[in-house]
Amino acid sequence: MQSNGVIVFKNKTTVNPFSQVTAHVEQLQQFIQSNYQIDVFRCIGKAIVFPAFTEAEFMNVFRIQMQHWSLKEQQSFRKYHLFQDTLPALQHARKFSQVQLKIPRIHLLNMAIAMQPRSTSEPTVHFHHQQAICDPLFFKDVLTRIERRDAQKALPIQTSLRRLFQDNLPHITQAKTYEQVYLALSHMKVAVQAESSTYLNYLNELNRIENKMLHERTRIIEQFKTTLQQGLHMYFEQQLTQMKEAVEQNIKWHSSLADTSKKAAA
C-alpha cells in the first residue's frame, strides 16, 4: 500500500482506487457544469471506503509500509481513506472547506436518473484475500446451524474446509495473471465440490427418506379416506336396508290388520 492510495499486489500489478474516484468527481463536475451551468467542483468530497475492516485492522496489515510515511502523508491517507469505524468522518473528506450550494430538487432528480450506476469490467482484487479465503466465514451460518444440532459433525466439516483452502492458497497467491487466478479458483471450486460430495450423499439420502415418508404419508391418508368412505357407505347401506325391512313389515302388518277388519265387518 502506498501513501497515494496505490495498491501493489504480489504479482506486481497495481490498482489505484483513489485516482478512479478523482476521475468520477471530474466527470460529475463536467456533467453538472455542461447541463446545469453550476460549478460544484469545490463542493464534492471524495474518499475510498473499506467497510469490511476497522482502521486498526488495516493499519496492522500495512504497518511496515506506513512506518516510512511522513506525518503529512499519514494524515492525508486517513482523511481520504475511511473504514468501518471511521465512516462518520466522511463529511470531512474534502479538499476545500464546506461550501453552501443550493441545487433545485428537480435538478437533483434529473441527475439521479441520468447517472445510473454501471458495472465496471475491471476485476477488483481484495487486498485481504488470503485471510478471507483461509477463514470460511461464508459457511458460518450453516456451520452454526449444524453445531446447534450436532457439534461433533460440524467440527470435521469446518476443519476439512480450512485444510482444503490452505492447500489451494499457494496456487492463488503465486498467480501472475488474472487468467491464472481464475484457473486456481476454478480448481478450488472443483475441490470444494469433491469435498462436499460425501455430505451431499448424506443429504440426498435424507431427502430420499423424507420423500419416501411423504409418499407413505400421502398413501396412508388416501387409504384412510378410502376406508372411511367405504365404512360410511356400508353403514348407511345397512341403515337403509333395516329401514326398508321395517317399512315392509309395517306395511304387511297394516295390510293384515285391514283385511281382518274387513272380514269382521262382513
* pLDDT tens digits, 186-245: 787 788 777 777 777 777 777 888 888 888 888 888 888 888 888 888 998 888 888 888
Question: What are the cell numbers at 66?
Answer: 506506513
Q: How far apart are CA 83 and CA 89, in angstroms?
A: 10
pLDDT band at 4 (very low <50, low <70, confident <90, very high): confident
125 pLDDT above the threshold of 50? no
Please report, to the nearest 10 degrees, the dihedral formed by the alpha carbons of residues 4, 7, 13, 16 taken in order: -50
Going by their DSSP bridges, the two strands 81-83 and 48-50 should be labelled as parallel
38 pLDDT above the threshold of 50? yes
The structural domains of the chain, with segments of one domain joined by +, span 7-114
pTM above 0.75, yes or no: no
Q: Which amino acid appears at position 259 of this protein?
A: D
When pLDDT is averaged across residues 84-112 and rounded to a whole number, the result is: 70
20 pLDDT above the threshold of 80? yes
